Amino acid sequence: MFEPNNQLIESNVGVLLHYMYAEDYGWSVEVYQGPDLVTQHECEWEPRLNVVNKLDVEAADRVLGSALCSFDTARLRLLLDPEDLDQVAELEPAKAFAEAVGLTHFEWLSFEYIYGDIERGQALPEGVIAVLKRDA
């Protein structure tokens, strides 16, 4: 989906979680210990539902502190490998994962939409700060 920042990953000395959620496209997560990728998960639903990489739950729990143990096995299977788009809409797997691991600011924002709002003089969503490039 989106490319991670390799310089940041190579410099990482702790636990790093790269979380990406695009409401109209899919979600993904990569878990790093130091610069090493421990596990990853990617689920896309555009153009069709497809789990590209499936999270190794045991590896994630070793690094993240058993955050995913709060789900029973059947629910976790549905969150990580939904059967159809109706399940994605009902279970909101990206949100459930983010909440389980303790992420606090994970709501979906679109640069293109926000930039368009700025261009039209509309107010930004609460908590969003626009940093615009200064003219040289």
* Confidence tier at 132 by pLDDT (50, 70, 90): low
Q: Measured between alpha carbons, how far is 94 from 23 in angstroms, rounded to an integer?
A: 9
pLDDT tens digits, one per residue of 82-107: 999 999 999 999 999 998 888 877 77
Do 9 and 35 contact (CB within 8 A), yes or no? yes
Q: Give CA–CA dist 57/132, Å, rounded.
A: 39
Q: Are 76 and 57 in contact (CB under 8 A)?
A: yes
- Amino acid in position 126: E
In this structure, are residues 95 and 106 in contact, taking their beta carbons and an 8 Å threshold?
yes
Query: What is the pLDDT at residue 107?
Result: 74
- Six-digit token string for 4: 């991670």
pTM above 0.85, yes or no: no
Cα–Cα dist 109/116, whole Å: 12
pLDDT in tens, 26-49: 999 999 999 999 999 999 998 899
